[in-house]
Structure 1
Amino acid sequence: MNEGAGGLSRLGTLVGAVAAPTSLVTALLYYFGYYHAYWFFAYFRVNSTVLGFSTADYLMRSLDVMWVPLTVLATLGVGAFWGYDLVRRGLAARLGPVARRRATAALAVAGLLLTLGGLWSTFRVTFLSDVLTLAPLSLSVGVTLLAYARHLVRRTATEPVPVPEPVPVPVPIRVPAPVPVPAPAPSREPAPEPGSPSPTPPDTTPDPPPAPSPRPEWATLVEWSVVFALVMLGIVWATNDYAASVGTVRAKRFAAGLADYPSTVVYSAHSLALGGPGVRETRCAAGADTEPAYGYRYDGLVLILQSGNQYVLVPTRWTPEDGVALVLPRNDSVRLEFGPPPGTGRGGAPVPGC
């Protein structure tokens, strides 16, 4: 019986009974989307928790995180299955027992080193932490190699050991001198009746060694549960680091292209005292008979997003060194007007009187 396949099958049944796949996937996507949003707005010095993102907002942002990891995992999975079939059918048949044992030992040593490096990186910053996702992937890959090496050892232990046939040794033939044979004494045993089977000689073949007792089912299930947990924790850890990196990279690209985004003019019924590099405040003059609905106008801004009941804006000249971000409430006292990107030079100066 294949303990590995049976353990994985029972583990999959148990996981499916405890956590519905849809709920688990949704929770992971929400988690990765949260970290993507957190690090994106942290680059602009805005705490994303004040923006009131909905579950749909986080799920949409998680797609930007999961695209590359899912593609890489799918490619590695296909390569692993094809490579396993190639090794099992082709290479393993050409290698002798000694070479197979050495290859298994090499897999076990590599898996142990990678696992120790990943576990070490969970408690302190190591050289693996300097490369994105290298430390968590070391943990996942190392545990996988150890489990596979253990599977090979078990399969080798259950295979029958071939017994070599004895090689016949030529013996010189010597013809002895004829010796007179005395007449046999009369046998006292009764002669076998005609048609009765001849007596069977005693079996002198040694008994085979007793087969090892099978492992308890609970031990196999616990072992594969621990392996699955460690591999998945490493993958989640790697994806979390990747989500933080993607959020920061997207924010840097957005900041680098501020001059190409549509300019945003903010009209407010009251003074907002907005400031920042390139932000201009204009007091809208009242007419002869009417009072302007929005008495203040602010130019030199770019809208990042509108989430819930808030706007997030940054100055067009925003820089990581001294730039600020603005969070405005979305209500009837604030109105936004969009125009050509400031980099085109077609925005024009504020109109007197608004």
Structure 2
Amino acid sequence: MTEQETQKEPASKPLTARLAPIIGIVAPTTLVTALLLYFGYLSTQARFKYFGADLDLINLTTTDLLFYGSEAVFVAVVVLALAVLFGAGVYLVGKWFVSEPRRDAAVGWTSLALLYLGLLLLVGALVGMVTGVTLTRRPIETPLALMLSALMLRYSLWLWQARDADREKPLWMPPPEAVDLIRGVLLVLLIAGLFWTCALASSLYGRSRAVGMVEELRSYPGVLLYTQDAIHSTPLGVSYTDLGKKQSYRHRYHGLRLLAESDGRLFLVPVRWSPTTSRVLVIQNSSDIRLQLIPPQKSHVRR
């Protein structure tokens, strides 16, 4: 047998090197743009749904969705970065944990505890997916359980393998093919849970922004609407004044704020908005109307 044949097999490639061919299939800019559009759509849909306006009716442009997407993804990026830092710290603690043979028993029990906890979370996620029943009755609980179960099961497997790596008496390990299959399945569960969690978080963020907008409506520029024809059944909280027949735009409406403008239409809401009694006023932005904008009494600065 030659010297080359007796050499050990080369070490496995890093994760980034193994994922490079997969990442190369989709250009990073295309992926980022698609994610911004998707999460922007979900966030904006939840935001306008709070006001009772369907996003398909508003028909925002792609640029608007990208803008809302960047707003929604910004918080997610910060949380994800912090999660990566936390994961790196957990990984370093695990490396220290398995470096000393005297801690083998503790490592083994920790691995088993993570295994059982991960399986319990996985069962809970599957129950939530099938029945919709969760402990807190919040929809985000199911994808979070799915994501955390994949992380715990993967960390449990890694601890067991790392404990066995430098020991004279190897522990029982499943066949390499089974280990690769488990890794692949856990990666799929992790990506699915992460994507699902981000989607629900975008919707929750959009709704929270809508609630924030309602609280800040008084600090937005006011809208005085003048029309040639009277508007029947105006929303509650909107003041109406008839200026007389001599006026071309004789009907004046006060107490409105601009929610959105798209496709030549104005979506106006009363300043005293209530989700139970208020409605969105949709006006065609044409020569039949006139608008006057009133500066807010206090400057609006979002913090």
Q: Please, which of 183, 192, 196 is the counterpart of residue 237 of structure 1?
A: 196
TM-score (norm 2): 0.82
SS for the counterpart of 2:130 is coil
Decide whether aligned partners of structure 1 residues 243 and 162 sit closer, same or farther in structure 2, where only a CA change above 3 A counts.
Answer: closer
Alpha-carbon contact 2:94-2:159 (below 8 Å) kept: no
Aligned to 1:352: none
Aligned to 2:292: 337
Residues 245-280 of structure 1: CA distance to partner in whole angstroms, max 9, x if unpaired?
222222222223333332211122333335122323
Is 1:33 matched up with 2:33?
no
Aligned to 2:301: none
Is 1:255 matched up with 2:214?
yes
For 1:286 and 1:276, the matched residues in 2 are separated by: 24
Gapped runs of 5+ residues in structure 2?
Answer: 1-8, 299-303
For 2:86 and 2:47, the matched residues in 1 are separated by: 34
Gapped runs of 5+ residues in structure 1?
Answer: 164-211, 344-354
Q: CA RMSD in A?
A: 3.2
Alpha-carbon contact 1:117-1:128 (below 8 Å) kept: no
How many residues in Structure 1 have an aligned counterpart in Structure 2?
A: 289
Matching residue's letter, 2:104: P
Matching residue's letter, 1:306: E
Aligned to 1:125: 132
Aligned to 1:93: 100
The 10-residue stretch of structure 1 (42-51 or 149-158) with the greater mean CA deviation from structure 2: 149-158
Is 1:77 matched up with 2:84?
yes
Alpha-carbon contact 2:107-2:159 (below 8 Å) kept: no
Decide whether aligned partners of structure 1 residues 342 and 82 sit closer, same or farther in structure 2, where only a CA change above 3 A counts.
Answer: closer
The answer to which structure has the higher helix fraction is 2
Q: Percent identity?
A: 26
For 1:214 and 1:47, the matched residues in 2 are separated by: 53
Alpha-carbon contact 1:121-1:128 (below 8 Å) kept: no
TM-score (norm 1): 0.71
SS for the counterpart of 1:337 is strand
SS for the counterpart of 2:53 is coil
Relative contact order, higher structure (CA 8 A, sep 6+): 1
| Post-superposition offset of 1:47 | 0.7
| Post-superposition offset of 1:242 | 1.5
Alpha-carbon contact 2:140-2:201 (below 8 Å) kept: yes
Alpha-carbon contact 1:4-1:151 (below 8 Å) kept: no
Larger radius of gyration: 1
| Post-superposition offset of 1:50 | 0.8
Matching residue's letter, 1:254: M
For 2:179 and 2:169, the matched residues in 1 are separated by: 30
For 2:253 and 2:134, the matched residues in 1 are separated by: 48
Q: Please, which of 232, 237, 240 is the counterpart of residue 281 of structure 1?
A: 240
